[in-house]
Amino acid sequence: MLSRQYEIIERPPTVLEHQALWEAVGWGRVNIEMTERSIAHSVYGVVAVSDGNVIGMGRIVGDGAMYFYIQDVAVLPDHQGRGIGEQMIEKLLEYIKGHCSEGAFVGLFASHGKDKFYERFGFKDHSPGMTGMFMVMDHFENGTHN
């Protein structure tokens, strides 16, 4: 259960909040320019705040109608295990349920070892019939691949 010292606020993280959380949970370094554009195009976002500091984030990207992807769910390591991530996921799913039609697709990629956390909310591994795949783009310059 969420302690009273935490509040979930409906807004996306700022670029600097996103960077601090991203790096604190070990996801690597952030490209600030790309992050700024990405956050600006979010469908919806939440932050968890404690004592005036953002200690968690989560957001939705997609088209806002048929496809919704939950992204960047992170809680500072010192605050994990206190129900904050659960409250953020519930808020994100509440938004989706209020803005989607029957048959809409809700996806996410879970960090290693976090599968069970997301399964509690109804997410399932649909392999081998359906597999999640992704690619990370290498450096492009003037529309050509280097």
Q: What CATH number does the domain containing 54 carry?
A: 3.40.630.30
Sequence-separated contacts (24+) of 90-96 with Cβ below 8 Å? 90/121, 91/8, 91/10, 91/46, 91/58, 92/44, 92/46, 92/58, 92/59, 92/60, 93/121, 95/44, 95/60, 96/60, 96/68
- Calculate the average pLDDT of the chain: 89
**Residue 133 within any structural domain of the chain:** yes
Alpha helix ranges (H) inside 7-144: 15-24, 32-40, 84-99, 115-119
**Residue 1 within any structural domain of the chain:** no
Query: Does the pLDDT at position 142 exceed 70?
Result: no
Which has more confidence, 3 or 71? Answer: 71
- Alpha-carbon 145 to chain mean position: 28
Cα–Cα distance measured from residue 107 to residue 122, given in angstroms and rounded to the nearest whole number: 11
Which has more confidence, 92 or 138? Answer: 92
Mean pLDDT across 88-101: 95
Which residues span the domain enclosing 71? 6-145
* pTM, to two decimals: 0.85
Domain count across the chain: 1
Neighbours of 127 (CB within 10 A): 8
**Residue 45 within any structural domain of the chain:** yes
Given a contact cutoff of 8 angstroms between Cβ atoms, the answer to whether 56 and 85 are in contact is yes
pLDDT digits (tens, 9 = 90+) for 6-45: 999 999 999 999 999 999 999 999 999 999 999 999 999 9
**Residue 56 within any structural domain of the chain:** yes
Q: CA separation (Å) from 117 to 53, 73, 85, 114? A: 25, 12, 9, 5
Tokens, residue 54: 């953002």
**Residue 69 within any structural domain of the chain:** yes
Query: Does the pLDDT at position 117 exceed 90?
Result: no
